[in-house]
């Protein structure tokens, strides 16, 4: 399936850039005329994915995070968060609610939150090479919305 629009943004793994990524994703999604709840869902999921990359992919150094946004026919928004960090040795374990490698201050609910706010979530990772989190959300066209 070919994207009808796309944007790619790369930024350093500084915690201040989490808000930038949230805003960028929300602005890109705005062309689908989402509801406020849908925008909040998108921002929350992006926040979790980017925070995971900041905290877990680069625990002791700065690295690069790439946010790739795509729109497909039918109002489908795809968001990809990619890092070249330490990777996840066991993705299934990492997706288990309450599992964390981030210490006591981390809840271990990042992937669970992403799953609950988006329609689809895929996680690919290779230890030592990084992680790619791909999320999809369909934004339903509202009655009376312009085409």
**Which tens digits make up the pLDDT trace of 76-99?**
999 999 999 999 876 676 666 555
The structural domain count of the chain equals: 1
pLDDT at 133: 96
CATH number at residue 51: 3.30.565.10
Q: What is the mean pLDDT of the chain?
A: 88
The reply to whether 68 falls in a domain is yes
Question: Which whole number is the average pLDDT over 119-123?
Answer: 95
The reply to whether 25 falls in a domain is yes
The reply to whether 143 falls in a domain is no
Tell how far CA 109 is from the center of its chain: 14
pLDDT at 20: 97
135 in Cβ contact with 121 (< 8 Å): yes
pLDDT band at 112, cuts 50/70/90?
confident
Q: Which domain holds residue 76?
A: 5-138
Q: How far apart are CA 136 and CA 75, in angstroms?
A: 10
The reply to whether 145 falls in a domain is no
Q: What percent of the chain has pLDDT over 70?
A: 83
The reply to whether 51 falls in a domain is yes
27 or 114, greater pLDDT:
27
Q: How far apart are CA 21 and CA 46, in angstroms?
A: 7
The reply to whether 77 falls in a domain is yes
pLDDT band at 141, cuts 50/70/90?
confident
pLDDT at 147: 54
Q: How far apart are CA 9 and CA 4, in angstroms?
A: 17
Catalytic residues: 48, 52, 106
The reply to whether 10 falls in a domain is yes
């Amino acid at each position: 399936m070919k994207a009808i629009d796309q944007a790619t943004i790369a930024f350093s793994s500084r915690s201040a850039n989490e808000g930038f990524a949230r805003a960028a994703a929300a602005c890109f999604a705005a062309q689908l005329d989402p509801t406020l709840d849908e925008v909040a869902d998108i921002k929350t999921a992006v926040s979790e994915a980017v925070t995971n990359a900041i905290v877990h992919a680069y625990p002791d150094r700065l690295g690069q995070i790439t946010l790739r946004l795509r729109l497909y026919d039918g109002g489908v928004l795809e968001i990809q968060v990619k890092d070249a960090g330490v990777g996840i040795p066991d993705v299934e374990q990492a997706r288990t609610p309450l599992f964390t490698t981030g210490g006591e201050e981390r809840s271990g609910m990042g992937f669970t939150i992403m799953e609950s706010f988006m329609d689809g979530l895929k996680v690919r990772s290779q230890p030592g090479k990084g992680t790619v989190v791909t999320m999809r959300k369909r934004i339903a066209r509202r009655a009376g919305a312009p085409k």
